[in-house]
Amino acid sequence: MTPTPRFALALSTTTVLLATSLYSAASAHADDDPPGTEISAAAPVKVDPNDPDLKLPDGATLAQAKVLDIKSVVEDQSGDERREDTNTSVTFALQAEVLFGKDSAKLGAEAKSRITGIAEEIKNQNATRVRVFGFTDNLGSSAHGDVLSKKRANAVHDILTETLNDAGITYEVRGYGEQYPIADNSTEAGRKKNRRVEVSFPRTGG
């Protein structure tokens, strides 16, 4: 599914490690790296190619160059929806407020169109395994969060199965409650991000 215009690039993190020779290496730092790790525009330090510490032992060879991982994260301007792509999987995270009323597992008016869009991407990727996981913030009891997050995951799962109508897809549906927060629960902005339902599936083509 081609990202719709409502998406605006909020964060794109790409980590690529490519070993091309013994004497050169490149590294990229994300915008949120600690101060002092920024890439410098200054010329690199000169390297003595005759230094014995830089030489391979007799018979040794360099490992084959390979891409370790590529990850990009796209979030819409409101922060209500986030898409994370790696070279092996796709994950959509929808904030609970977009899908449900407060402390409810009943889907709202806008929810079905959002979930239908995710279903189209599942179809495009020819995915046969789909995970639907619910999460909450840390307010209220842990037991209540576990139950609510599972009910919300089930509600999203029901729309996906209805839309895709494909018996060849296996679903894993879980409610994790307040486990695995992605933001700081000490602020309302952080808690809002943690109240979410994630739909993930392998990237298989399409």
Nearest to 73 by CA among 3, 16, 136: 3
pLDDT at 2: 47
Banded model confidence at residue 51, pLDDT cuts 50, 70, 90: confident
Distance (Å, whole) CA 48 – CA 69: 31
Q: Tell me: the pLDDT tens digits for 180-201?
A: 999 999 999 999 999 999 999 9
Distance (Å, whole) CA 62 – CA 170: 41
Query: Which residues are CB-neighbours of 76 under 8 A, at least 6 positions away?
Result: 6, 7, 8, 82
Taking the CA atoms of residue 194, residue 199, residue 203 and residue 206 in that order, the dihedral angle to the nearest 10 degrees is: -130
148 pLDDT higher than 50:
yes
81 pLDDT higher than 70:
yes
